[in-house]
Amino acid sequence: MHARLKFTLATMLMTLPFSSLTRADDPPAAQAAATNAPGALAPNGYSSGETTHARLTAFVQSANSEGRSRARIERIATSRRGTAIEVIVLGEQDSTKKQPAMLLVGGMDGVDLASTEQVLAALNTLQRDHAELLKTMRIYAIAEANPDARADAINSHTPRATNAREVDDDRDGAIDEDAPRDINGDGLITSMRRVAPAGRSATHVIDASDARITRAAKKDKGEVATHELFVEGLDIDGDGLLSEDALGGVALDHNFAHRYPEFAIDAGPYQMSEPEAMGIARFVRDHSDIVSAIVFGRHDTLVNFPDTKDTDSTSGTPMCYLAEDHDMYCAMAKLFKESTKLEKSDSADLAGSLVLWLANHRGIAAVAVNGWTLPLAPNLEEGASAAVENDDADEAAWLAVSDHLYGGAGFDPWTTEQHPKLGVVEVGGFLPFFKSCPTIAQAETLAAATTPFVAKLAELTPRITVSDARLTPISNGLVRIDLRITNTGTLATTTEMGRITQMIPPIVLRLIGNPSDVLSGKAIEKIERLEAGASNEYSWTVRVQDGASVDITVIGPTFDTITRTATPALNATQPGTEAPR
């Protein structure tokens, strides 16, 4: 990543008044210090567990004030440590009434803590400013999908991607015995480097332009490695490796079925092996009204729009999205950039992710949102020239951000320590969360930027209308019945991938009566997919008794059953009259 890259969110941070970035409970000293910096590094200010539950409870109470009933909390799963995983249902509370729905998910890990804030901010805005939308659209929101990982990350001040499943990472018969450890006593886990002694293979060099940077030697340029680089820790099990068997676990975004990375150490023993992942999957399975979804977290499919033509070795499985759904996802990416003004975003490998499972196994129009990347600090241009000269532009750029935006707080200077097994080492490096997660103030600004997109995407839904049934007498008790079904919405009833997988129930038309009386046309018709703005027309020739009426029902996952009655007394016309077009 180049040091000169500009990030719209960071530019916003520097132009917004400080009052919009602080929380009411920030002490005055912290508020004063933050006028020159974006506040204390994550996870300071973030909440998890009972605190998040309390925030959700307060939201429901607010949404249901003044005699309204617009929100509730449901428990959909229990984490490995027994923490409830909850979903907010916002909108129509009568579950027997069918409506299109949107799913929001955040808190999939303890690395991108901002995702929970993005979900909560979206809920607050939808409840406050979009009352009319909520009359015809439900929102399902899971703010903290992996509470154990978030709790550990916040309590230990160390990013954690995995849940609390016990895993023998190094296959030595012991579990979680060799986690990173604080060697220099500063309360943080950073890095260790040392000059490689005789008999050890050096892998890294200290950058000539900035001695804080320890990077891989570039052998193709004739560089000779001089140093070893480790995660701060000890070799507890005596296998010659340091910090290789940490706490947990399974990364939920590697545990879903699409492109499941079965050999990845954090993917779990099998697809959806984790109660958190299975709970989400069951909830989605049981709610076929979900037409769109946004997964907030480390992934991004909107700023970094994927190649929809890319498939796996079978040429039949999309690596990200089906090519036939390209135009729809491209329009969503355009809507995101127009709504948020975000031009850059970090991302991660999508293999086994929730968003790909939603899109390719369930047929839901699903996108991933991150929005965080290298910020542009004040006076960064002054340090950019040095960064460009460095052989590791990414590290140098982040150092410039630490120096100019965080007052140097993003990097722990290298200090000499005596390691019990390695001897003399230097301990230091980038602080946990500095590069992977915004501060709480930045997260709140990021959430404010992404929320308008949530509201606009929620407006994109299928809407089914059914014309009156037109009955035309033919002769001798025979009549012709004509009917039109139209999707007046702005989204197809399912994606093309959904039509292929057939996981979304079709729209079903049923001509009520004796099937033997239907002489042409089908008594039961199925619509697997209906494009936005498209219509399907149906015609039947039916034998009816004099004066009898014929009922036609239309059933689908996102609307209540629609019944149309064709009655001769009301619809009789001269034989041969054309049905409406």
Question: d(Cα 253, Cα 266) in Å, to the nearest integer?
Answer: 9
- pLDDT confidence of residue 380: 53
- pLDDT confidence of residue 475: 87
* Model confidence band, residue 390 (pLDDT cutoffs 50, 70, 90): low
Give the mean pLDDT of 527-548.
Answer: 93
pLDDT at 388 over 80: no
* Model confidence band, residue 457 (pLDDT cutoffs 50, 70, 90): very high
pLDDT at 241 over 70: no
Give 230-291 as a 3 state SS string.
Answer: EECCCCCCCCCCCCCECCCCCCHHHCCCCCCCCCCCCCCCCCCCCHHHHHHHHHHHCCCCEE
Give the mean pLDDT of 61-65.
Answer: 94
DSSP classification of residue 492: -
- pLDDT confidence of residue 67: 80
Write out pLDDT tens, residues 299-333: 999 999 988 888 887 878 899 999 999 999 999 99
228-244 in b/e form (b: 16+ CB < 10 A) is: bbbbbbbbbeeeebbbb
Taking the CB of residue 148, how many other CB atoms lie within 10 A of it?
Answer: 26
pLDDT at 3 over 90: no
State residue 487 phi and psi, 5-degree precision. -95, 100
Cis peptide before 249 (omega within 30 of 0): yes
Of 142, 135, 140, give the one whose Cα is nearest residue 463.
135
Percent of the residues in the chain that have a pLDDT greater than 70, as a whole number: 84
Of 461, 496, 104, give the one whose Cα is nearest residue 327.
496
Write out pLDDT tens, residues 359-378: 999 999 999 999 998 876 55
- pLDDT confidence of residue 387: 45
Give the mean pLDDT of 68-79.
Answer: 95
Sign of dihedral through CA atoms 310, 311, 313, 316? negative
* Model confidence band, residue 35 (pLDDT cutoffs 50, 70, 90): very low
- pLDDT confidence of residue 196: 93
| All domains of the chain in start order, with CATH | 8-20+45-162+250-372+437-458 (3.40.630.10), 191-247+375-430 (no CATH), 464-571 (2.60.40.10)
- pLDDT confidence of residue 375: 79
Write out pLDDT tens, residues 107-163: 999 999 999 999 999 999 999 999 999 999 999 999 999 999 999 999 989 899 999
- pLDDT confidence of residue 33: 36
Distances in whole angstroms, Cα of residue 246 to Cα of each of 80, 241, 382, 432, 499: 17, 12, 40, 15, 42
**pTM (predicted TM-score):** 0.87
Write out pLDDT tens, residues 189-213: 899 999 999 888 899 999 999 999 9
Please report, in angstroms and rounded to a whole number, the separation of the first and last CA atoms in the chain.
57
pLDDT at 521 over 50: yes
φ/ψ region of 481 (left if φ > 0, alpha if ψ in -120 to 50, else beta) reads beta
Give the mean pLDDT of 101-108.
Answer: 98
Sign of dihedral through CA atoms 119, 349, 214, 425? positive
Work out the angle at residue 506's Cα, subtended by the Cα atoms of residues 504 and 511, and round it to the nearest 5 degrees: 160
- pLDDT confidence of residue 394: 85
* Model confidence band, residue 354 (pLDDT cutoffs 50, 70, 90): very high
pLDDT at 31 over 50: no
Mean pLDDT, rounded, of the chain: 86
- pLDDT confidence of residue 25: 41
| Angle, helices 114-129/440-458, rounded to nearest 10 degrees | 50
Could you tell me the two tokens for 451?
Answer: 């929320």
Give the mean pLDDT of 233-249.
Answer: 63
* Model confidence band, residue 399 (pLDDT cutoffs 50, 70, 90): very high
Do the beta carbons of residue 464 and residue 556 sit within 8 Å?
yes
Q: Is the model more confident about 177 or about 336?
A: 336
